[in-house]
Structure formats: structure tokens, C-alpha cells
């Protein structure tokens, strides 16, 4: 999906007037574009590099090298070539969009937003940039800003299924089903068999607790886009946490890590799968990597790492992690519940009851002092 957009920008957004002085370089460039379209990024690199050798101001060839290295997963090189293209043509807005995608892959989300801001400054009606920025803001947890971007994208291009699908996903996640309904309908109208629409259907089925059907819908999403990391991620969650298919879930998490090696979600969810299999040391390794990759959004990873430490009897480490999780996210009912378990098992019954009460107020209703003793009696 993203790769097609990148190449499309290159082909339709480029003026060839700058290449008139060097017809040979232009021919190498055109051959490189064809190789990239045919799915041969290695050959595209070789041909675009020859174009650059012939004319060091071939901005489009630098841009194409950025695209080709992105396709090859060599994001540092891709970033360098996009930056060079930007120096040659600072007003060429597609380069900002393309470089933002690399920053996203590298987990440098703030820099990705900055590039997309520049793209929309150059062209206020560049709806693709608003959609990309909404996706990144969603990753950052800023749903309000993401929704604003999507609303503007829809105003610019009312028939864009992707904007409707993303809007529906966010609203469903926020349990605003009534608000989500018209966007869901539009997403299905304009993109009935698109990967994002299948993902949206899976999210709705998950909300309805029809987990097996949701997995089948994600299978269809992945058939449409084999590089759709969010679909792999959600499928891994469903398999690992609701269907107890931990090994299959781990395979999905591995794919997420391949596609987003600098994002924490693949590691966090794989850690939960290992924890579900009783492999808590292996789980701790993944949670630690998730903390390293996204320290500002690490409450979830700290909370789950604390639970794995608790299962290993390492109460000091567990308590430290859970207290960090609560400090970062005071609404984390799971962290309060786990902290209560640690305190109870350590003999601090009164303190434990306080934590269970907090968890209960935040929605973890099944956990209090009485339910703890009931749980222990069955172990």
C-alpha cells in the first residue's frame, strides 16, 4: 500500500525539464523507475546511481534511491538519499512525505510529524500527508489530533476510503460506536475489499467478541497487503490473548518486528505471548526492548514486565516496574491489580487491598481482596 503510493508520487509529481541537459542520465532514471515498478529495487539502485554519477543534481534520482532503499529495508541509506534530494529541491513536497515514512519506520515519530507538517505547509490540500500524519499521531496516542487530520483529509477528498477506515478504527477503539458508524459505512462503500477496511471489520468483530471471525477478516487484510503491520499486530493479539494460539501469535509478532523493528508493539505483544506460555525470562527480554524503543510510552511494557517479574518471584523488580507503570499511566487498572498481588504475596495485606480497590474503580471489577483469596484457593 505505502510502496505503491511512493512510486506513484515519483511518476506523477515529477517534471523532467531538469534532465533536458543530460539525456543519458534521464534514460538511466527512466529504466530505474521501470525496475522499481517491476519489483526489482536492487536493479533500480544500480541504474539510479548511474544517473547520479552522470548528473549530481538529479534530484529525482536521489529521491528514487531513497524509495529503492526503503523497499530494501535499508532505512538509514533511504534517509540519506531523501535528505540529499531535499537539499536539491526543498520545495518538492513528496520528498517530505517519503522521508516521513522512513522516520516512522525508524521509530522517530516526532521527526516524521515535522516532515509532514512541512508537506502540508507547501500544499494545504495534500490529503495523503494528513492521512499519514493521522496514522503517526495515532501511534503516539494523540487520537484527537489524528481525528482532526482525518476530518480535513475527508474534506479535501470525500471518496478516500482510507481516511474513513482510520476514522472508524479510532472511534471504535474509543468505544464511540455511534459516531463511528457513518465512517464505517463510507469505508465499506469506497473500499469494500481494501486491507484497511478488512482491518476495520476485524476491530468491530473483536469488540463483539467474535475473535475467530476477526482473525479471518485479518487474514483477508493481509492477503491484500502482505506488509500491513497493523493487521499482523491485531491478529497476533487475537491469537495470543483470546484464542490461546501462542505459537501462531508469536509468528505474527515476529512479522510485526520485521516490518516495524523500531516500534515497541511487536516486542510487547510477543512478550505477552511468551508470558502466556510461562516463559517469563524470555518475556522480560521483549518487554525490556519495548521500554528501550519507546521510553515515553512504556507504561504498558512496564506493567507486563512487572507481572513477569512477579511470576519469577522477583518482587522488588516487579514492584518497581508496576509503580513506574502507574506513574506513567494512572488509569492502568491492570498495574494496580498486579501491584496488589505483589503486596498480598509479600504479606502487606492492607496496602494490597488499597491497590485492589483502585483497580476495581478503574474497571478491574473482578479483583479485590476476597477474589484474591478465591483465586489462591484454586491454585
Domain membership flag for residue 259? no
54, 89, 124 — which closes off a domain?
Answer: 89
Domain membership flag for residue 133? no
Does residue 365 register a pLDDT over 70?
A: no
> Which of 1-5, 31-35, 91-95, 144-148 has the weakest average pLDDT?
1-5
Domain membership flag for residue 192? no
Domain membership flag for residue 61? yes
Does residue 280 register a pLDDT over 50?
A: yes
Q: What is the mean pLDDT of the chain?
A: 87
Name the band, by pLDDT with cuts 50, 70 and 90, for residue 112.
very high
Does residue 370 register a pLDDT over 80?
A: no
40, 64, 89 — which closes off a domain?
Answer: 89
Residues of the chain above pLDDT 90, percent: 66
Does residue 284 register a pLDDT over 80?
A: yes
Q: What is the pLDDT of residue 81?
A: 95
Residue of higher predicted confidence among 20 and 98:
98
pLDDT digits (tens, 9 = 90+) for 222-250: 999 999 999 999 999 999 989 999 999 99
Domain membership flag for residue 355? yes
Name the band, by pLDDT with cuts 50, 70 and 90, for residue 93.
confident
Name the band, by pLDDT with cuts 50, 70 and 90, for residue 92.
confident
Q: What is the pLDDT of residue 366?
A: 55
Name the band, by pLDDT with cuts 50, 70 and 90, for residue 377.
very low
**CATH number (domain holding residue 61):** 1.25.40.10
Domain membership flag for residue 151? no
Q: What is the pLDDT of residue 371?
A: 40
61, 89, 117 — which closes off a domain?
Answer: 89
pLDDT digits (tens, 9 = 90+) for 59-75: 999 999 999 999 998 99
Structural domain count, the chain: 2
Pick from 302, 306, 236: which is nearest to 266 by CA? Answer: 236
Q: What is the pLDDT of residue 216?
A: 96
Domain membership flag for residue 119? no
- pTM recorded for the entire structure: 0.77
Domain membership flag for residue 150? no
pLDDT digits (tens, 9 = 90+) for 257-269: 999 888 899 999 9
Q: Domain limits at 374?
A: 289-379
pLDDT digits (tens, 9 = 90+) for 147-193: 999 999 999 999 899 999 999 999 988 888 899 999 999 998 998 88
Amino acid at each position: 500500500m505505502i510502496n505503491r503510493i511512493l512510486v506513484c508520487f515519483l511518476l506523477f509529481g515529477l517534471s523532467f525539464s531538469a534532465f533536458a541537459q543530460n539525456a543519458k542520465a534521464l534514460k538511466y532514471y527512466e529504466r530505474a523507475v521501470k525496475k522499481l515498478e517491476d519489483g526489482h529495487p536492487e536493479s533500480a539502485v544500480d541504474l539510479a546511481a548511474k544517473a547520479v554519477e552522470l548528473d549530481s543534481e538529479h534530484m529525482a534520482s536521489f529521491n528514487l534511491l531513497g524509495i529503492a532503499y526503503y523497499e530494501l529495508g535499508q532505512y538509514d541509506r533511504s534517509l540519506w538519499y531523501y535528505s540529499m534530494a531535499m537539499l536539491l529541491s526543498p520545495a518538492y513536497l513528496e520528498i517530505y512525505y517519503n522521508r516521513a515514512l522512513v522516520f516512522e519506520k525508524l521509530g522517530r515519530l516526532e521527526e516524521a510529524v515535522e516532515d509532514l507538517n512541512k508537506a502540508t505547509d507547501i500544499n494545504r490540500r495534500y490529503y495523503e500527508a494528513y492521512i499519514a500524519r493521522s496514522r503517526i499521531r495515532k501511534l503516539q496516542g494523540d487520537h484527537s489530533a489524528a481525528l482532526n487530520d482525518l476530518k480535513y483529509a475527508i474534506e479535501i477528498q470525500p471518496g478516500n476510503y482510507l481516511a474513513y477506515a482510520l476514522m472508524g478504527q479510532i472511534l471504535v477503539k474509543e468505544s464511540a460506536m455511534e459516531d463511528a458508524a457513518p465512517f464505517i459505512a463510507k469505508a465499506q462503500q469506497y473500499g469494500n475489499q481494501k486491507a484497511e477496511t478488512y482491518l476495520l471489520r476485524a476491530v468491530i468483530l473483536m469488540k463483539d467478541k467474535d475473535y475467530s471471525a476477526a482473525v479471518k477478516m485479518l487474514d483477508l487484510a493481509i492477503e491484500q497487503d502482505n506488509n500491513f503491520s497493523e493487521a499482523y499486530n491485531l491478529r497476533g493479539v487475537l491469537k495470543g490473548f483470546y484464542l490461546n494460539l501462542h505459537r501462531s501469535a508469536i509468528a505474527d509478532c515476529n512479522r510485526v518486528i520485521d516490518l516495524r523493528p523500531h516500534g515497541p508493539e511487536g516486542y510487547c505483544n510477543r512478550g505477552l505471548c511468551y508470558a502466556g506460555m510461562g516463559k517469563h525470562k524470555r518475556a522480560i527480554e521483549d518487554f525490556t526492548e519495548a521500554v528501550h524503543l519507546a521510553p515515553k510510552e512504556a507504561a504498558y511494557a512496564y506493567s507486563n514486565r512487572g507481572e513477569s517479574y512477579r511470576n519469577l518471584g522477583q518482587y522488588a523488580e516487579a514492584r518497581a516496574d508496576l509503580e513506574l507503570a502507574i506513574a506513567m499511566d494512572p488509569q492502568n487498572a491492570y498495574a494496580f491489580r498486579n501491584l496488589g498481588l505483589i503486596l498480598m504475596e509479600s504479606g502487606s495485606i492492607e496496602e494490597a487491598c488499597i491497590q485492589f480497590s483502585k483497580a476495581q474503580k478503574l474497571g478491574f471489577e473482578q479483583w479485590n481482596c476476597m477474589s484474591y483469596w478465591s483465586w489462591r484457593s484454586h491454585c
